[in-house]
Structure 1
Amino acid sequence: MSRADEIFKANCRDILENGVWDTDLAVRPHWEDGTPAHTVKKFGLVNRYNLQEEFPILTLRRTYFKTCIDELLWIWQQKSNNIHDLRGHIWDSWADENGSIGKAYGYQLSVKHHYPEGDMDQVDRVLYDLKHNPASRRILTNIYNFQDLHEMALYPCAYSMTFNVSGRTLNAILNQRSQDMLAANNWNVVQYAVLVHMLAQVSGLKAGELVHVIADAHIYDRHVPIIQKMLEKEPRPAPKFVIDPTVTDFYRFTRDSFSLEGYDPQPFEDKIPVAI
C-alpha cells in the first residue's frame, strides 16, 4: 500500500468522524450554481512523507502528475501570475480578462530583495543558501504578503516553505492555511515533493522528509460521497519517481525531466465539483 494512500485515508476518516461542520456559518466559497459550499473540517493536520522511501502520490485515484509539475514550474520557475503561461486551466476561474491572477503566487516569488550578496528573489535566495549556507536555519519562502492581499485573485493556500539541511539531506515543511482534501491535497503533496527533489539535486543534496502542515483541512459537502467511495478502495503500490540526473540548474528543469514508473491508480469516474 502507498504510504500517501494510508495518510489520505486516515485524514479523511478523521475529518468525517471527528470534524466540525460550518453549516451554521456564512461562508465565502460557493458552487457554480450559487449554493454556499459548506465543509466539515479538522484543525492542524501534520503529515510526514519520507521521500527516500517512496514518492507520495495517491493510487486511490489518479493524480495528474505532469499537470501538477506544470503548475509547480509556472509558480516556482517561471514565477508567473498569468494563466496564458500555464498549460492547464485550473486557474481560469480566478483570472481576469488579461489572464492575470494579480499579485499572487509566482508574482510574490519574483520580487527581488536586497541582500549583502546582491539582489535576489525568494527562489534564488533559497538556491544560494542551500549551496553556500546549508547550516542556516533561515532558508524559507513566504508568499502571504499582507500588503498585496487586496490585489490577489485568491489568497495563497500553500503559502510558506521552510528548508532545512541535515548532513547531506534536504528536508522541508510546507505550511498551508487551507486545504480542499479531495481536489487539492495530494496535488500539493506531489508538487512540493517534486520541488524538494529538484532543489536537492541542484544543491548536491538528497531529498529527505516533506512535512505538510495544514491549518484548516476540510471536505466540501458535495465531496463527501466521493470521499466515502474512495475510502472503500484498495490502495496499490507507490510508483517509482524518476528525475533527470543531468539537470544541475534549477531553471533547466522541464515537465519532461520527471516521470513515474509503475503508476497504476484505481479507476475513478466521479467528476469533482470545485468550489470558488
Structure 2
Amino acid sequence: MSKADQLFVTMCEDILDHGFSTEGQKVRPHWEDGTPAYTIKNFGVVNRYDLSEEFPALTLRRTAVKTAVEEMLWIWQRKSNNIRDLNAHIWDAWADENGSIGKAYGYQMGVKYRFPQGEMDQVDNVIWQLKNQPYSRRILTNIYNFRDLAEMGLEPCAYSVTFNVTGDRLNAILNQRSQDILAANNWNVVQYAVLVYMMAQVTGFRPGELVHVIADAHIYDRHVDIIRELIRRPQYPAPKFRLNPDVKDFYDFTPDDVILEDYQHGPQVKNIPVAV
C-alpha cells in the first residue's frame, strides 16, 4: 500500500484524537456564510517521504497531479502572481480585479538579489548552487518577506524550501506555517515532490527525501466528517512516476512532462468548503 496514504491516515487520526480545538476562540478564517471557521489542530507535524521508494500521491482519493504541477510551475518557473496566467481557479478568492494576488508567491520568486556569483533570483540561485557547489548548506528559498506582507493577497503558507545533497541524492525540506489538511496536504506534497524530481534531473542528481514540516496542521470543523470517511477508504499501491528525460533545463518543463502510470485511487471528494 502507498506509504503516503499511511502517513496521511496516521496524521489525520492524531489530529482528530489528540488535537486542540479552536472552537470558541478568536479566529481569523470564516466560511462563505460568515460563520467562524474553527479547526482541530496539531503543532509541529513532520512527515518524511522517500522519493527513491515511491511517488507520494494519495490513493484514498485522486490528487490532480498535473494541475498541482501547473500551480507549482506558475510560482517557481513563471514567477507569476497573476491568476490569469493559471488555468485553475484555486487563487480566485485572493486575487484583485486585475487578477493579481499582490507581492506574493511567484512575485517573491522573481525578485533579484545580489549573490556572490552575481545578481539573480532565488530559483536561479538554487540551480546555480546545485550545479556549482552542491554541498553548500545554504541552498534555500524564502518567500515570507515581511516588508511586502501588507501588499500580499495571502501571506505564504508554504514559504521556504531548503535543498540538501547527500551523495548523489537531492533532498528538500518544505516549511509550511499553516495547512488545511483536507484541501491542501497532498496537493503540496505532490507539488514539492515533483519539484525535487525536476531539480534533481536538471542538476545531475537522483531524488532523495522530501521532509514536510507543518507548524499548524489543521482540520476545519466542516471537514471532520469528510476526513473520517476518507481515511477509512481502501488503500492502493503508489503510482509509478517519471519525468520526460529529454528536459535538461528547469524552465523547459511543462505539466505534460510529468507522467503518472497505474494510478489507482478512490472517488474524488467534491465541493469541499473552503475557509478564507
**Matched residue of 2:192: which SS?**
helix
Find the counterpart in structure 1 of residue 55 from structure 2. Answer: 55
Segments of 4+ in structure 1 off by > 3 A?
none
Query: Superposition pairs for residues 3-14 of structure 1, below 5 Å?
Result: 3-14=3-14
**Matched residue of 1:219: which SS?**
strand
**Matched residue of 1:27: which SS?**
coil
Find the counterpart in structure 2 of residue 99 from structure 1. Answer: 99
What CA deviation, in whole Å up to 9, does each residue of 1:77-120 have, x standing for no partner?
Answer: 00000000001000000000000000000000100001232111
Query: Superposition pairs for residues 225-244 of structure 1, below 5 Å?
Result: 225-244=225-244
| Distance (Å, rounded) in 2 between the aligned partners of 1:93 and 1:239 | 32
**Matched residue of 1:171: which SS?**
strand
Taking structure 2 as the reference length, what is the TM-score of the superposition?
0.99
Query: Superposition pairs for residues 168-183 of structure 1, below 5 Å?
Result: 168-183=168-183
Deviation (angstroms), 1:270: 4.1
Amino acid at match of 1:42: N
What CA deviation, in whole Å up to 9, does each residue of 1:116-149 have, x standing for no partner?
Answer: 3211100000000000010100000000000000
What CA deviation, in whole Å up to 9, does each residue of 1:4-24 have, x standing for no partner?
Answer: 000000000000000000012
What CA deviation, in whole Å up to 9, does each residue of 1:227-268 have, x standing for no partner?
Answer: 000121111111001100111100000111101000121113
What CA deviation, in whole Å up to 9, does each residue of 1:185-225 have, x standing for no partner?
Answer: 00000000000000000000000000000000000000000
Task: Tell whether 2:264 aligns with 1:264.
Answer: yes
Task: Tell whether 2:40 aligns with 1:70.
Answer: no
| Distance (Å, rounded) in 1 between the aligned partners of 2:18 and 2:124 | 42
> Are 2:57 and 2:190, in contact at CA under 8 Å, matched by a contact in 1?
yes
> Are 2:158 and 2:174, in contact at CA under 8 Å, matched by a contact in 1?
yes
Unaligned 5+ runs, structure 1:
none
Task: Tell whether 2:256 aligns with 1:251.
Answer: no
> Are 1:170 and 1:207, in contact at CA under 8 Å, matched by a contact in 2?
yes
Unaligned 5+ runs, structure 2:
none
- Paired residues, what number? 276
| Distance (Å, rounded) in 2 between the aligned partners of 1:65 and 1:187 | 8
* Matched-pair identity in %: 67
Amino acid at match of 2:109: L
Amino acid at match of 2:262: G
| Distance (Å, rounded) in 2 between the aligned partners of 1:247 and 1:268 | 31
> Are 2:83 and 2:100, in contact at CA under 8 Å, matched by a contact in 1?
yes
Q: Name the Cα RMSD after superposition.
A: 0.7
Find the counterpart in structure 1 of residue 142 from structure 2. Answer: 142
Deviation (angstroms), 1:269: 4.6
Task: Tell whether 2:89 aligns with 1:89.
Answer: yes
Find the counterpart in structure 1 of residue 217 from structure 2. Answer: 217
| Distance (Å, rounded) in 2 between the aligned partners of 1:27 and 1:229 | 26
Taking structure 1 as the reference length, what is the TM-score of the superposition?
0.99
**Matched residue of 1:47: which SS?**
strand
**Matched residue of 2:241: which SS?**
strand
